Chain A
Amino acid sequence: MSAIKRMREYALYERVVMRILFAWLVLTATPARLSFYEIPAPNGIARLLNLHFLLDPQVYAFCRMLLVVALVLYVLRLMIWLALPLALFVNVAANAVTNSQGAIQHAYQIVSLVLLAQTAAHFYGVWLRRAGEARTLLEDQLIWWSQQTIVAVYFVAGITKLIVTKGLWIFQARMISVSMAKAAYQSFYDRLDRADLEQMLAMANFAATHGWIVVLIAGCGLALELGSPLALLNRGMAALFGCALFAFHLGLDHTMRLSFIFNQWLLIIYMINIPYWIVTGARAMDRNKGSNRLEMSA
C-alpha cells in the first residue's frame, strides 16, 4: 500500500477553506514592501542567491503581483506545479531579505516552511504517480505534510531548549521573570504605553517571587512542545493539541507580548480545523434528532 493511500481524506469544503485561508496567510506573511537600502547580513537563501534585485521597489511590486497570481491559482487548484514554487520563492526571498538586516525574526518561518512542505509534497506525489503508484488524493498529502511541518516547528523549539540548557531548561525557567521584564520594556519602548508596562511588570514581579508556579507553567509548555507529534495521531488529537498550543500562544501574548499570529492561524487552519467540527457536530445533532423522531413514532 502506498504512503499516500493511508492518508486521511479531507472533504471538499475543508480543503477549500484551508486553501483560501492559507493563501491569505502567505500573502499576509510576505512583506508589502522592502524598505531596506542593502542586505548587510545575508541569511538563508540570501546567502545562496543575490537578492539585491528585490530592493528595487518596482521589481518587488512585480514580484508581489506574481505572488497574488500564484495564490489565486493555488486556491483554484490550477497549475499547482507553477503556483507553489512561485509563491514559495517570493515568500522565502522577501522574508530572507527582511531577516538579512542583522536581526533574525521568528514570525514568518512557519508559513514559509509549510509552503515549502506543500511544494515538496506536491512534487513527491507527482513523482510517486510517475513511479507507478496509483493516482491518489494529492491535496490530502499537502495537508498531511503541512500538519507535520507545524508539529516539527514546536518539536524543534522543545528540543532546542533541551540542547541549549543540557536538559536543565525547566530549572532555569525560575529566572523567566528577567525575560518577562525585558519583554515588558521592549514592548514599552515600541509604543510608549505606560499602563501596559505597569501591567506587564506586575506579572514579571509576581513571577520573580513565585518561582515554583513559573516552573509548573513552563513545564507544561515544554511538555506541549515535546508531545506535539501526538497531534498527528488523529483529527481529535490534532484539534486537542491545536487548541492547547493556541492557548499557549495566547498566554505568551498576554504575559510577554510575544505574538505568534501566524503560528496561531496555522493551528486554526490545519490542526483545529473548525469547519470539520461544525459539520460533524451538525450531522451528529441531525442523527440524534432523527433517532428521537423514530423513537417517538415507535
Chain B
Amino acid sequence: MVRHILEVIGCKRPVPLRLAAALGWLKRTRFKCLFVMTLLCLGLRENYPFSNFPMYSSFNSRTSLVYLTDAQGTPFSTMGFDLLNSTLNKIFYGWRRAELKKTAGSSTARVALAEHTAGEALLRYIDRHASVHPQIRNLLHGLRVQHLTIRLEAHELVLQTQTLATHE
C-alpha cells in the first residue's frame, strides 16, 4: 500500500485504477490538506494531536459530575489541587467506565458499585498527585468525593447530591 502510494505520487509505476484516481485527485486538488486532516481526525479519533472533537456531540436529559469537599461538605476549589474540575471528572468517568465493564449484576447495583470504586480510585489519584504538589497534602484528611446529578424534568433542572468516597 505504502509502496503503491509512493509510486503513484512519483508517477513511476501503474497502480490499481481506483487508488491511482484517488491519489491523482488528491495531488491535483487545492484542498488536499483539508481532506487529509478531516480523514485523519475522524479516523484516528482521540489520539493526540488528532481528535474527532466529540465535545457536546450529544445531549441527554440527565448528567452528573463529581467535586471535592471537606469532611463537613464545604466545597474545595479544584484549582486549589492544581486540577480543573473537568479534568477531575474525565479521570473519574474513565475509571467508572472501566469498572462498569468489569462488574456484573443489575444495572443500578453495578452503577452504584462502579461509582463508589471510581470515587475511591480518584482519592488515590489525588493522594499520588499530592506527591508532586506538597501544598495540597494538608487538605487530604476527610476529603470527600461528592456526586451531583442534574436532570431535566418538565422544563426544570433537578439536582441531587451523594457522597461517593471519603479520605481516611
Contacts and interface: CB of A to CB of B under 8 A. Distances in A.
A44 B50 contact: yes
Interface stretch (A60-68, A71-79, A92-100, A278-286): A92-100
Interface string A13-40: 0000000000000000000000111100
Interface of B: 10, 27-34, 37-38, 41-42, 46-65, 67-68, 75-79, 82, 84-91, 94-95, 125, 128, 131-133, 148, 150-152, 155-157
A177 B62 CA distance: 10
Contact of A152 (B33, B56, B86, B131): B33
B77 A190 contact: yes
Interface in A197-215: 201, 204-205, 208-209, 211
Interface in A156-173: 156-157, 159-161, 163-165, 169, 172-173
Nearest to A186: B85
Given A43-B46, A179-B63, A149 B89 contact: no
B26 to A, nearest CB: 10
A182 B33 contact: no
A120 interface: yes
Nearest to A168: B58
Greatest chain B CB density within 10 A among A41, A121, A153, A186 is at A186
A266 interface: no
A258 B148 CA distance: 20
Secondary structure at chain A's binding surface: helix, strand, loop or mixed? helix
A204 B59 CA distance: 14
Nearest to A145: B33
Contacts of B77: 189-192
Contacts of B50: 44, 109, 113
A116 interface: yes
18 contacts: A3-B32, A95-B49, A96-B49, A103-B94, A109-B48, A113-B41, A148-B37, A152-B33, A156-B38, A157-B55, A160-B52, A173-B59, A176-B56, A185-B148, A208-B155, A229-B34, A232-B31, A232-B34
Name the interface size band of chain A. Answer: 35 or more
Given A185-B65, A185-B67, A37 B85 contact: no
B65 A208 contact: no
Contact of B59 (A121, A172, A190): A172
B147 to A, nearest CB: 12
B132 A156 contact: no
B47 A47 contact: yes
Contacts of A175: 59-61, 152
Interface in A218-260: 229, 232, 258
A113 B63 CA distance: 31
A44 B52 contact: no
Given A169-B58, A186-B86, A102 B94 contact: yes
A83 interface: no
B73 to A, nearest CB: 13
B37 A152 contact: yes
A87 interface: no
A121 B42 contact: no
A89 to B, nearest CB: 11
A192 B55 CA distance: 24
Contacts of A109: 48-51, 53
B131 to A, nearest CB: 6
